[in-house]
């Protein structure tokens, strides 16, 4: 075993994390929990100050878990120079898309510049941000070279995608890690380091394999969601219950994984990640037809959902224009407070454009955020009367489905929540 791999396997070392968001903060806290030390660096001084006060900005790390970590080896800082004291740096900064849906690498570039400033002999540098195949070689390898360091002699460079899904189990620390180094030795050293943080490490032969594996995982989800969303539209045409169809197909013990229809895809992973592959494919003059088709179907779902809601009102002799509608759930998925890229918001916007009077109930996202989106807030325990229809767009556990159907004349269920809860109600219309 190489001396650095042995060091990471057997010694108590310090990990540095760049970017303390949904990915970086759980990683830093997990390191503290496993008995390692961690230096978490974030460019946002506001975020660092609130973390230091023991306030976690994300659902997956509770305030008490953060406070425990701060007392047991986690240092949080806005000073990048503190990273120079670490043995390994994990880059967890955002990787959004630009205006023309091309990768916006500005955060990864900035983190790479930080690496150039702080890299020291013996360090491991691992990129975790989701990105196109080739990024680690294109941006991180030159960043360590600019520090005067040579891969496999002074430093080790790898890519390891984060696969956590906020609000869902399992969480960081329980999910196997795919690890690919820029060389076989870098893979060995990175795998040794990750073995101290997660229970299972799957080594691959290059950073590009690891980068593309992450994109395949999320493209698989986007394509299958697109497929079932198209099936939902067909089933509605044929007057067949799509939810019953999926449940029936899911009884097959092999060869079928159920995906469920919904008002569209949201969040900052499923709608975005396949676009990294599409972009890279265009550069190689290759057409990614599945990705493009899934995107077309999924991005049309909010409008389709709004049309189905209009139909439900029409069947009761009501127009969308001027009708009070209660939008229920604006987060992009159940039980998270995150409404970025949420399809629910796109549905409400489509209804508002047609003149509906929208109010919003979301016990998880909370009143301040709903108001910032420009909608009047209905408190969870407040009265639901006066609405012609409730559009259940994100089915948080905290939503009282029985009460909703009892108090609002029609519920449009875009998530199959009533069916899953075994609640049969005559006034519930499903997508
Ligand atoms: N959120 C998820 O569910 C998820 C899951 C898997 C992978 N990812 C990927 O992980 C990466 C990070 O995503 P996230 O959701 O944690 O983002 P986030 O926006 O929650 O957090 C990113 C943090 O990085 C900080 N930051 C930005 N630029 C920085 C810099 N140059 N130096 C230091 N700090 C900087 C920001 O202030 C912010 O606190 C992205 O590539 C994303 O696609 C996200």
Answer for the pair 281, 287: CB distance below 8 angstroms, yes or no: yes
**Of the candidates 305, 324, 320, 306, which has an alpha carbon nearest to the alpha carbon of residue 409?**
324
Q: Which of 16, 18, 19 is the best mutation target for the ligand 1 pocket, counting ligand atoms within 8 Å of the beta carbon and taking the most?
A: 19
Centre of ligand 1 from the C-alpha of residue 12, in Å: 26
Answer for the pair 393, 416: CB distance below 8 angstroms, yes or no: no
Atom of ligand 1 nearest to the CA of 269: 43
What pLDDT digit, counting tens, does each position of 377-422 carry? 999 998 998 999 999 999 999 999 999 999 999 999 999 999 999 9
Atom of ligand 1 nearest to the CA of 272: 43
* Domain 221-430 CATH class label: alpha beta
For ligand 1, atom 24, which residue shows the shortest CA distance? 19
For ligand 1, atom 37, which residue shows the shortest CA distance? 44
Fold exhibited by the domain 3-205: Rossmann fold (3.40.50)
Answer for the pair 185, 124: CB distance below 8 angstroms, yes or no: no
Q: How far is CA 87 from the centre of its chain?
A: 28
Query: How large a percentage of the chain has pLDDT more than 90?
Result: 94
Q: Which of 23, 24, 169 is the best mutation target for the ligand 1 pocket, counting ligand atoms within 8 Å of the beta carbon and taking the most?
A: 23
- N- to C-terminal Cα distance for the chain? 57
For ligand 1, atom 43, which residue shows the shortest CA distance? 130
For ligand 1, atom 22, which residue shows the shortest CA distance? 21
Q: Which of 108, 210, 269, 391 is catalytic?
A: 269
- What is the DSSP code string of 136-181? IIIIIHHHHHHTT--BTTTBEEEE------TTSSS-TTTS-EEEEE
CB atoms closer than 10 angstroms to residue 93: 25
Domain boundaries, the chain: 3-205, 221-430
Q: Determine whether 92 is an active site residue.
A: no
Atom of ligand 1 nearest to the CA of 19: 24
- Angle formed by the axes of helices 184-195 and 3-10, to 10°? 10
Higher pLDDT, 165 or 89: 89
Q: Which of 17, 20, 22 is the best mutation target for the ligand 1 pocket, counting ligand atoms within 8 Å of the beta carbon and taking the most?
A: 22
Q: Report pLDDT for 172.
A: 81
3-205 and 221-430 have identical folds = yes
Q: Report pLDDT for 72.
A: 97
Q: Report pLDDT for 37.
A: 97
**Bridge partners (DSSP) listed for residue 181:** 158
For ligand 1, atom 27, which residue shows the shortest CA distance? 93
CA dist 324 and 330 (Å) reads 17
Q: How far is CA 247 from the centre of its chain?
A: 26
Q: Report pLDDT for 171.
A: 83
Atom of ligand 1 nearest to the CA of 128: 10
Query: How large a percentage of the chain has pLDDT more than 70?
Result: 100
For ligand 1, atom 13, which residue shows the shortest CA distance? 94
- Average pLDDT of the chain to the nearest whole number: 96
Q: Report pLDDT for 321.
A: 98
Enumerate residues 6+ apart whose C-beta is below 8 A from 41. Answer: 16, 17, 18, 19, 20, 77, 78, 79, 80, 82, 83, 114
What pLDDT digit, counting tens, does each position of 98-137 carry? 988 899 999 999 999 999 999 999 999 999 999 999 999 9
What pLDDT digit, counting tens, does each position of 245-273 carry? 999 999 999 999 999 999 999 988 999 99
CB atoms closer than 10 angstroms to residue 197: 21
Centre of ligand 1 from the C-alpha of residue 19, in Å: 6
CA dist 16 and 346 (Å) reads 38
What pLDDT digit, counting tens, does each position of 411-422 carry? 999 999 999 999
Centre of ligand 1 from the C-alpha of residue 375, in Å: 28
What pLDDT digit, counting tens, does each position of 266-314 carry? 988 999 999 999 999 999 999 999 999 999 999 999 999 999 999 999 9
CA dist 176 and 107 (Å) reads 26
Banded model confidence at residue 191, pLDDT cuts 50, 70, 90: very high
Lining residues, ligand 1, CB within 6 Å? 18-24, 41-44, 47, 92-95, 107, 110-111, 114, 129-130, 162, 164, 166, 268-269
Answer for the pair 429, 410: CB distance below 8 angstroms, yes or no: yes
Burial status of residue 52 (CB atoms within 10 A of its CB: 0-12, 13-18, 19 or more): middle
Q: What is the pTM assigned to this prediction?
A: 0.94
């Amino acid at each position: 075993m190489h001396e650095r791999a042995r060091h990471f396997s057997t010694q108590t070392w310090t990990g540095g994390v760049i970017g303390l968001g949904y990915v970086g903060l759980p990683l830093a806290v997990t390191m503290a929990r496993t008995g390692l030390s961690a230096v978490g660096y974030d460019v946002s001084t506001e975020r660092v100050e609130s973390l230091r006060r023991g306030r976690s900005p994300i659902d997956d790390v509770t305030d008490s878990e953060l406070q425990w970590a701060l007392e047991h080896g986690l240092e949080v800082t806005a000073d990048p120079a503190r990273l120079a004291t670490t043995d390994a740096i994990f880059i967890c900064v955002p990787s959004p898309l630009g205006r023309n849906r091309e990768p916006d690498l500005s955060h990864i570039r900035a983190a790479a510049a930080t690496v150039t400033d702080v890299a020291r002999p013996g360090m491991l540098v691992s990129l975790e941000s989701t990105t196109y195949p080739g990024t680690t070689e294109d941006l991180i390898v030159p960043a360590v070279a600019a520090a005067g360091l040579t891969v496999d002699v002074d430093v080790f460079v790898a890519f390891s995608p984060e696969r956590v899904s906020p609000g869902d189990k399992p969480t960081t620390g329980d999910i196997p890690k795919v690890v690919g180094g820029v060389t076989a030795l870098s893979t060995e050293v990175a795998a040794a380091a990750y073995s101290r943080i997660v229970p299972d490490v799957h080594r691959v032969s290059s950073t590009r394999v690891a980068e593309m594996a992450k994109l395949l995982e999320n493209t698989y989800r986007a394509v299958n969601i697109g497929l079932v969303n198209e099936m939902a539209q067909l089933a509605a045409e044929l007057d067949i219950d799509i939810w019953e169809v999926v449940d029936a197909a899911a009884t097959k013990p092999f060869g079928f994984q159920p995906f469920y229809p919904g008002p569209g895809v949201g969040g900052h992973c499923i709608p975005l990640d396949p676009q990294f592959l599409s972009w890279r494919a265009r550069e190689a003059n290759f057409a990614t037809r599945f990705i493009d088709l899934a995107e077309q179907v999924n991005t049309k779902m909010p409008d389709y959902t709004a049309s189905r809601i209009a139909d439900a009102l029409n069947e009761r002799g009501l127009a969308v224009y001027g009708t009070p509608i209660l939008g229920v759930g604006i987060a992009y998925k159940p039980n998270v407070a995150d409404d970025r890229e949420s399809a629910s918001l796109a549905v409400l916007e489509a209804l508002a454009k047609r003149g509906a009077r929208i109010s919003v109930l979301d016990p998880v996202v909370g009143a301040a955020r709903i108001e910032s989106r420009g909608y009047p807030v209905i408190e969870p325990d407040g009265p639901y009367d006066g609405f012609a229809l409730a559009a259940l767009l994100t089915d948080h556990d905290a939503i009282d489905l029985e009460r909703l159907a009892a108090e609002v004349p029609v519920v449009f269920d875009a998530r199959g929540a009533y069916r899953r809860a075994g609640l049969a109600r005559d006034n519930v219309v499903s997508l």
